[in-house]
Structures are given as structure tokens and as C-alpha cells.
Chain A
Amino acid sequence: MSNNPTAILDWKPSGSGDTLVFERSAVQRCKPQKLPALHPDRLRVCLFGESLAAGFPLAPAFTPAMILEDTLRAALPDLQIEVIDLAMPNMGPSEQLRVAEAAQQLGPDACVFLTGNNWYYGLTFEPTASIEARKIYAKEIEKNGVRGLTKEFRQQLSERAEVMVKALSATATGKTKAYFAIPPTNHAWERLNPLPLLPGDENKTWQSLLGEAMTAEGKKDYTKVLEISAAMAKIDQGLTGTPERFQARALLALGKKREARDAAMSAIDGCNWQNVTWALPQVPSFVADIIQTGAQKYKYKSIDIEKAFTDETASPWHEFNLFYDHCHLSAEGMRIAMARIALSLLEDLGFPAANMKTLLTQAPKPLALNLASGAIQGAHWLSQFYPDYASKDGVQRIEDSLRESVQTHALSASVLNDYVRLRHLAVSPGLSAVMPKAAHLPGVGAVVASSKLNAVFLAGALKVLEDKGAKETGELLAPILESYRSRFSEGLDLTQPSYRTWFWERTPTSWFDPQERQGSPIYRALWPKSQFSFLDTGASELNLEFVFRSLPAGRSVNLRLNGSELSAAKSETAKWQTVKIKLPQAKLKRGLNSLEVEWPAFTADTSQLLNEAKSQFEKGSEAEIFPVFGEIFALRVYI
């Protein structure tokens, strides 16, 4: 490394030698700060990591670095202690390594790496893979079918994790001690992944079992759910994580929390490869094992945050009380995690008398404002991902989170109010006059400014506002409904990403651009059912133009409006066809309306499709590895 001082993340050097300081502006963080390069009188801890370690969604007001610093200071009041925040949302592995290397300039006593969630960056399956990567896919498909792809992904991620623990720990030299805190995972975070193309009848059988599992779950017949999901697991062998998710829920319902936890981790391992839903930042179990076992090899201390959660909550099943989403911690989760890290540091400093109970008492608590903001952000995040087979649970969870926010801080109700008002179709939220009010609650701007209808979040917001006694929710909604009616006069296409009920319904080629119709103008159904939402006054009947194609020909595509059957659209040929259907007033609701498309069963020859995919990968092109039930070009509602 050069002797010239270099920036460490957003800390910029100025001065030199004894006067060298690192500064960061108030723009990126809560306040401007100055930091001497060397400070022998202080115990200096550097905290590294991604968004989890940076404190999303409570940052910048409440961050793990702040909690750790206050907790350590409370435990050792006579010592000058500083925890330097070197975490940053969206930081990938290369940048993590560079930050860790640059941080040596600060001469830290301890480096705490709370990282691993983003190590998958760049190991993306699609759509940005190189020619070489796609050739590897082709070879793997040739040898092992689609399972070869997951195997390849896991091998690559394992190799990367090994490099990361080795390289990050190597940056802690001399007196500096390295600590790796293993990021915990929300066991209850649900994700629905479709089954990729498998040979023979396996896709058909799997789909059929999926339906049976959902039925059994609806009847609370958990033994049956376990039996069916075992059969599903036999087919997909960890490809989707979906059967394991059914198992986790069933086991939890049966009171078997430890087994449920194990099933949930298998589900996370199974779905966490880069397929149709992007690989969310999470640490799969094989990466956690690498961090754990690397401790001895590379001379660092590993800290098991999951175990700390288990100890503190007396439960191996960890969910939304500790997490806002799939990996980001709630305020309570952060406090426990930081107390556990503080405990390890204190033990090494020769203060073995410290214990979690005391440290947790001393760990700071967030302001109500931050909790309220976090609850809204968490609910919004969840609302975009929660799969419909668990929607009842998910919808309730979102509503609960919004209610909690409203109860925690008075501003929340006005933010929800703004959210509703911003569903108006005349202007995108970014330019609406409503925005300045939403900005009062930190961090929720992006939620309120989202251009998605987001039926689940909207329903939750309306319910919470009504329950709070807001008399004017009808009045609040009226101009929004009118704006939809106004748009219907031009025709409103529900296949636009804004009106797809579930975020994960995006198609593989358009996955990276959630707000725009990028990659494909066509809605491709990867599930037997597709669901869309819109708002309406319900004042009179509407019309629907449905432009679709579906295989096989000669079968019916069923449409439902608010759960009620509409006339079926018969798929006469495999070509595009346009069907015009009335949406009768009697079936329309004032407020949110749901339109569901049910496709005929998938019957195409999967072996042939898989061969086509392989041949495209061989040439370096993208390929579809999931069955497509049907395609919609337009689902246009008009007056």
C-alpha cells in the first residue's frame, strides 16, 4: 500500500503525518465528523459491512456502530472508545476488501466484520452473465440439468466466501484483532420460487403437489402438508426452497421450532440462487459455516448472532420481532447483535464479568420517530415480496406493522395519508405536491414516492387509517378513484409493472427494473395464476381488452374479478388473440379491485425446452429456464 493517505469509504483524508485526519460530510451521514488518523489513547473499533451493518432502515439516526459504541462506553466508562462506521448499503465484496485494506490507516484495535449478505454480487445467474458464464451453464445443464446451475452457483459463492474471510481477516495485522459476526437470517421471510424446467413430467407433478399442499395448509392439516412437501422436495431437491418453506410453516404450526428453523434455512439455501427473484442479501447456511470454520484457520473470532438471538428470545425461530425484512434487523435485533459483539470485545479486553443482560440494559434505544419510520419501510419492503400462498399472513403482518408505526409516532398517520393520496394517476409521486409532507418522517420518502399501486400496502394503510378513526378515508380516496376513471377513458393497461400485485411476478428478463417495462413488454406468467390490481369508483361497468396467448391451444383461460368468475377466454390457437370482456358493475368494488388470470396447466415438452435453453447458453445468449404458462400483451381496462 502506498504511504499516501487514501479515502476510507466516505472518509476523506486531509493533512499528513501527525495532523492527518479523516473527515466525512454531513451529506452522506447524519453529521460531519473528523477523525485523527492515529489516536493511541483511544480504543478504536472499526465496524465493516453492508446495509445490515449500516443500519438500514433505521440509519442514520440509529445504527449498529452507534449502538456498539454506546454499549462499550457504558461498560467501560473510564476508557475512551470509538466505533468507526465503515459500513455502507449495497457494498459489494470488492469494495469491502478495499475499505478493509484502507482502514489500516486508522490503526484500529479491533475490526468487526458484520458481512456476508452481499457476497453473491456478481455471481448473478442472469441477465448480465458473460459468454463464458453461459457456456458454463450449458455444460452444467448438459451434465446435471438445471440443478447443475444451482450447484455451480453454490460452488462459486463458497469459493468467494473462503476468499473473503481469508482476505478480510488478513487486513487486521499487528495489534488489530479481527471479529466476524455472522449475519443472521429471518426464518419467516417467505419467498415463492417457481420450479425451473425439469425433464419428463416432474414440473406437472410438482405443480399438482403445490396445489395440494396449499389446500392442506388451508385446512390446517399440517401432517398432510409435511407429507406432500416431502414429495415435492423429492422432485426439486433443493432447487426452489418452496417445499422446505411449506415444511417450515407446518413444523412451526406443530410447535416444532427447531425443526422449523432447520427447514427454513434449507428453504433459504434452496431459493437463494440467482433465479427469477433476485437473490436477496442473505447468508445461506454454507456461507455461515465458512465464516464459522474460518476462525481457527485464519485466526479471528467468529460471533454467532443467531445463537445470541436464540439465547435472548429463548426460541430458535427468529422472525419479524428481530427483523424488518429478510436480513435487516429491527431495533431490538440490532441491540442484541451489538450487545453480543460488545461481549466478545470485552472478553478479549479482559472484562469477562460483562454479561448480555447488563450490556442489553446499557445498549441505547431508538427514538419513536425512527421506529415508526422503520416499521413503514419494513412493511413496504415486505408488501412487495410476500407470496400469495401466504398472503393472508403477509397482509396481516403488513397491516400490523403499519398499525405499530401509527401507534409509535403521530407523523406516521400523515405519511400513510400521503401514500394514499399519491396513488393518484395524474402525476408520478416524485412530482406531486404531496411529497414534502412525507419527507418529515426520515427514510420513508422512497416508500411514499414508489409509483406502484401496491394493493397490499394500500389496503393496510387504509385499514389502519380507518381503525384510527380517520373519518375522511372515503374522501381521501375519492380523487384517486376518479383519476383511475379518468385514465380508463384512455385505457389503463394492468400489465404495467405498477399494477402487478406481486413484485416477483416480473419476468426474468425484466427483473432488474421494477418500475419500468424494461426487457420485455410482455407479461409472462411463471405461475398458473396471475394477479393484477386497480382502483375504481365502481360507479358503472367497465370493459376489459385481454390480449394474450397461451399454450396449449383449445383450453380456457379463466378470469376472475374480485374472486368472482368472468367469462372465460378460450385459447383458440397458440397465437395472439384479443378478447373483449365486460367488467359488470355488480362485480366491481369501490376502492381496490383484483383481477386474476388462471392459465391452463403447463404441458409443453420440458426436455425440449431445456435443450433449447442449453443451446442458447452455449452461444452465449440468455435463455429461459422456467416454464411459461401464458403471456399477456395487454390487459386494458377502459370505459
Chain B
Amino acid sequence: MNIIGVSAFYHESTCCLIQDGRLIAAVPEERFTRVKYDRRAPVNAFRYCLEAGGNLSPGDIDCIAYYEDPVKKLARQKAMGLAEHEDTDKPERDLRSAFGVDCPFIAFDHHLSHAAGSFYFSGFPEAAVFTVDGVGEWATTTYGSGKGKDLKILEEVHFPHSIGLLYSAVTDFLGFQVLSDEYKVMGLAPYGKPIFVDKIQSLIQLGDKGQFKLDLKYFDFSQAKRMFTDELAVLLGTGQRVKESEVAQIHMDIAKSLQVVLENTLLDKVRYLHTLVPSDNLCLSGGVSLNCVANRRIHREGPFKNIFVQPASGDSGSALGAAALAHIKLTGKRHTEERIPHVFLGPGYESESISDLITQSGIKALDFRGKEAELLEAIVDRLNEQKVIGWFHGRMEFGPRALGARSIIADPRDVTMRDRLNALVKKREGFRPFAPVILEAHMNEHMDIGETSRFMTETCLVKSKLDLPAITHVDGSARVQTVDPQTSPRFSRLLEAFNRRTGCPILVNTSFNVRGEPIVCTPEDAIRCMANSQIDSLVLEDFIIDKAQIPAFLRKAAQLAPGPFRDRVESDLHPLLSGNLERWRPAEGVLPEGVYTFV
């Protein structure tokens, strides 16, 4: 049985395939189209899933499981005045048209999909389930319980009262991109003092049971461009930070205060959930669960002993949830009782095709085919020389975190590494921290962690005797990934080799991309990214390419944005042409980078 799970048409469209109960593939469309958070029908991802499933045809698909209820969602959008169409069948029809499928199409509620994306992949036989995001159809927060194949939502908080939207609105106020940069606010928080906690707290009033309310005079969710009202600026005593302008102390203080309020709110509600579902196990999902600092507090201070966070807890992960729900609906059985072992669910590339690519690109690479030990020693040589390495190995990770398939790695002991990585390699804000990856055998020596953290979903305090400035955040924390030899054998061996040489079983591990770009997918993406940044060496499976071996022309070519021909866009209609306005203006987001025209 082949079930395709889909999340699409809002944010980071994604496809996954569950085949005969096994999760075979999961990948967001952005990785193929190179359009960050691509929201269009995930046609490339769909095609990849079919290929990974054994060159399936659309006729082999038994069900399309969709991650939200289009009828309820449209009702909410219409109530907000944000509807892009008036057709509740549109998602189904668009996907049928794009995928060419005539199998059943089953839509599940947005938060049920989130909940399923966590519970059915957690390996827990039973658990409490907590989902929090901006908004789905109407729900923004849900409290549920899972047992075996049964998953129930017990209570919901409805739009416009939303913890996710609160966080996004302040993200917007701080001059960052909504639905994208919330994690930057989280990274900024440790630099600030919680002096605005009372004011931020006044934005959200905790209610009985699982309920809470936003003070709506501070928010305006009916417009796409600004999520808050002028009242918020009055409350905080400062205006909205101009995008890309300097981040001042007040912005850090607001970020910190927001983070404190978020954590307190979540803790309060998690405690409530435990009264509803007194289990040892908690499953988290929804975009707010990407907040790994809050996850840690929930884990440490909350009533649940064991926590599972869906590795792609945003809408991507709900594609998995929808597929798992469909599996139960069609077979009467949970697709698996096991915890998802890894998220290497995207495309992989053979060394032979990489060899051809390198040759044709005019790059002189070091070839270590059949010589893995030598390869790893050569990489350690470079790491030890404080070089930044692009690491490309195996199938691409699913989810927002690089976990050793498409990673940039470096020596965490170097005091200059963080600034260098931020400025020259990732080309991003200087305040942003980097995550460590550590061998599980050594994790308790260096991290105050206790349990494995294979998907980088929680932070912990660094307790290492080693000086690890590149991965230790200003508050002494780190968002750690622990690595085990079974699911990441080569990555583990690399860490072991680095440990043998340096006594440090830890590396910096950040996603293999530059700012504004999705994580690299193909070897070509990796070469382009390396040539366009200050990555010193690139490990492409069994090959090492040093920066000096990238020809000058290729460095220049890499600076040109890849992708389809797209040129000038009329972004602002002249008033004299307003008679054509209603036809001219495309539905927002239909084309992520404007209208494609030709000379």
C-alpha cells in the first residue's frame, strides 16, 4: 500500500511516502526548486517519493493524505478576509491535477495531522500530545492523547488566540521575517534581559483549563504585511525595528521577554495537559515546537518524563502525520510501533555520478573511493587546521536541521569560528549560535543532557571541560545533536577520528546552505554553495574538493542565482492603470518571485 502525505499551499510544501507501513521518503519541495519555503504543489517532491518507492506510477498510489481540512480553513480565511479563492475543493483538485492521481483523497484536520506526525512516529505506545502553532483551520493549540492506533484531540484553543501568532507578531515587530525567522528571535533572546516580561505577558491572558486569550488590540492578523497594531509600539515604547538594521539591546530584551513568556505559557499548559492525560510520555508538534529552548524547559520542568518532538514539527511534519492517519483509516493499523530511527529520507547520490560531475566541472578533487579511513583522516587534517568543511553524505535529511547528511562542520574549539561562520560562510546575523554534534558515547561528559538528542530538538547546558566557544551560546547552552553509529555510521566515524586526534568528540554542525537558500540537495547545489561562500573544503561522498580547486569561473557562476529565467517584475501598479487592477494583481504567493515574463 502506497500512501502519499502532503502539506501544501501555505508554507514549505512537502510530500512523503509510507509504503506498506514503512516511511520511505519525505522531502519539502523547496529543496528541488531552490525557492525557500516553496508553497506550490510539491510536484518534484511527489516525483521523488514515487522514485524512492521503486519507480511507482501515479496509478500505484492508494491514497493522498492531506494535512488540513480545506473547508474549515477556507471558512477561517474568509472570516479574516484573506481567502485566495472560494473553492473548498481547490487543494484536492490542484493536487489531483498536479499528481495525476485518481485514488482517494483524505483530508485531516491540521492539528490532528501535527499530533499524528509526532505520536505515530514517537514509538510511544501511549502519550499525551500537545500541538502549538500559528493557526491551522481554527485551532491554534490542541491537547490530545494517543494510545495505540487511537489519537484524540481533547481540547482546542481557537484563532485568533494563538501562542504561535503572538511569537510571530513580535518576530515581525523585531524586523524579522514571519514564518521563517522565529528561530532567530529565539537565538537573540539570551543576549537580552527579561525587562519586558510584564508587558509581553499583558498580551496574553491565561484562562481556565487549556485556554488563553490574546489582547487583540495589539494584533492585526487580517493583513498580510503587518501582524501587530500601533498599540504594540506604544506598549513596548519603541517602534518596529527596520529590517536588516542594527539589532539594539532593546530588541534583545524584547526577544528575551517574549521567550520567557512563551516558555512560561507552554509550561503552564503542559502541566494542564498532564492533568488531562497523566502519562509519562509527551509528544510535541506544531511550529512552536521548533523552539528547542522551550522544549528543554518543558522536558526539565514539566510533568512528563519522556518527550518526543517531531523532527520537522512545522507543517512539513504534518504531511507525515496525515499519511500515518490515512494508513490507520485504510488498514485499521498504526503503520509502525517504532520510533522514527532517522530522517535521512531525501535524495542520495552515488560516488560515480559525483565523479562525472567533478570532471565535467573542471575541478581537481581528491578521490578516496574505497579508502574511507584515509578520507576521514584527510577531513580531520582540515578541521584541525580550522578549516570549514561542507559535508555531503548519503540521503538528505528531512526537516529544518542538518543532521550529518548536508552539514557544514568545523572545529568547535576555535574562538573565531562562530563569527567566521556567520559572516563569511553562512552570511547571516552575527548573533546567531551554532549547534554541536557529539558522539553519543561521549555526550554526558560534555553536555548536561541525560538522553540522546538525535534530531536537535532541545537545548542543554554545555558542561565540557573543553573550551567550546563556537557552539556555546551566550547563556552557556547549546542545541545539541547526538550521533549514534547505527543510523549515522560515517558521520560517527568522522567524530571518532576527530576525537582520536584532538580529544574532542564534538564538531560544529550547521545546515549546508547560505542565508535565504534552502539546504543543499544535490552535489551541484553543494558545489555552488561552496563556491559562493567561504567554505574551505567540500566533502562530496568519497571526494574532497579544496577551495583552491574551484576554478575562478565557477566561483563567479555560483554567484548567479540558479533557477529558472526570471527577470523584472512590476511590483507596484501605476495608479493610471488601476482600471486593470483586479486582473493584474496575481493571487498572493502564486509565484514566489513574481511574474515570469520575457524581454
Q: Which residues of A contact B (CB under 8 A)?
A: 50-51, 56, 88-95, 97-98, 118, 121-124, 127-133, 136, 156, 159-160, 163, 167, 278, 280-281, 328, 424, 426-428, 430-433, 435-436, 439, 446, 483, 486, 490-491, 509, 512-522, 545, 547, 549, 575-578, 616, 619-622, 624, 631, 633-634, 636
Contact = CB atoms under 8 A, between A and B. Distances in A.
Given A280-B598, A575-B102, 17 more contacts: A89-B567, A95-B568, A128-B587, A131-B83, A278-B598, A426-B360, A430-B560, A431-B557, A432-B360, A446-B565, A509-B97, A514-B565, A517-B43, A521-B46, A522-B99, A545-B55, A547-B58
A430 B556 CA distance: 10
Nearest to B596: A512
Contacts of A118: 597
A118 B598 CA distance: 9
A122 B584 contact: yes
B360 A516 contact: no
Given A50-B599, A576-B59, A620-B87, A130 B576 contact: no
Contacts of B580: 122-123, 156, 159-160
A575 B598 contact: no
User: Which of B361, B560, B583 has the most CB atoms of chain A within a 10 A radius of its CB?
Assistant: B583
B502 interface: no
A624 B100 CA distance: 14
A82 B97 CA distance: 55
Interface string B489-527: 000000000000000000000000000000000001001
Contacts of B570: 92-95, 121-122
A557 B155 CA distance: 55
Contacts of A621: 85, 87, 90, 93-94
Could you say which of A127, A517, A633 has the most chain B C-beta atoms within 10 Å of its C-beta? A633
Nearest to A117: B599
B97 A620 contact: no
B98 A129 contact: no
B59 A577 contact: yes
Contact of B93 (A167, A576, A616): A616
B533 to A, nearest CB: 15
Nearest to B41: A519
3 smallest CB-CB distances across A and B, nearest first, come from: A433-B362, A576-B59, A128-B586
Given A129-B583, A278-B598, A576-B59, A435 B567 contact: no
Nearest to A52: B599
A204 B224 CA distance: 47
Contacts of B560: 430
Given A94-B573, A433-B551, A519 B582 contact: no
B562 interface: yes
A92 B59 contact: no
B571 to A, nearest CB: 9
Interface of B: 32-33, 40-41, 43-44, 46-47, 55, 57-60, 83-87, 89-90, 93-94, 97-100, 102, 353, 356-357, 359-363, 524, 527-528, 551, 553-554, 557-558, 560, 562-565, 567-568, 570, 572-574, 576-577, 579-580, 582-587, 590-591, 595-599
B58 A633 contact: yes
A133 B60 CA distance: 37
A426 B353 contact: yes
Nearest to A428: B524
Contacts of A121: 570, 595, 597
B40 A97 contact: no
A123 B590 CA distance: 16
A75 to B, nearest CB: 30
Nearest to B93: A621
Given A519-B40, A520-B98, A124 B86 contact: no
A619 B598 contact: no
27 contacts: A89-B567, A94-B572, A97-B574, A122-B570, A122-B577, A128-B591, A128-B595, A130-B582, A131-B83, A133-B583, A163-B577, A430-B557, A431-B524, A431-B558, A446-B565, A509-B98, A512-B596, A513-B596, A518-B44, A519-B41, A521-B44, A522-B100, A576-B58, A619-B89, A619-B90, A622-B94, A631-B100
A129 B586 contact: yes
A132 B583 contact: yes
Nearest to A157: B580
Contacts of B46: 521
Contacts of B524: 427-428, 431
Contacts of B590: 127-128
Given A122-B583, A435-B557, A575-B59, A131 B595 contact: no
A521 B32 CA distance: 13
A121 B585 CA distance: 11
Contact of A435 (B89, B356, B553): B553
Nearest to A495: B47
A633 B101 CA distance: 10
A100 to B, nearest CB: 10
A603 B347 CA distance: 41
A242 to B, nearest CB: 22
Contacts of A98: 574
B564 A513 contact: yes
Contacts of A633: 57-58, 100
A90 B573 contact: no
Contacts of B583: 122-124, 129-130, 132-133, 136, 156
A118 B47 CA distance: 36
A522 B98 CA distance: 7
B86 A518 contact: no
A427 B553 contact: no
A486 B47 CA distance: 21
Contacts of A513: 564, 596
Given A89-B567, A122-B583, A123-B583, A94 B574 contact: yes
Nearest to B586: A128
A93 B98 CA distance: 33
Contact of B599 (A89, A435, A578): A89
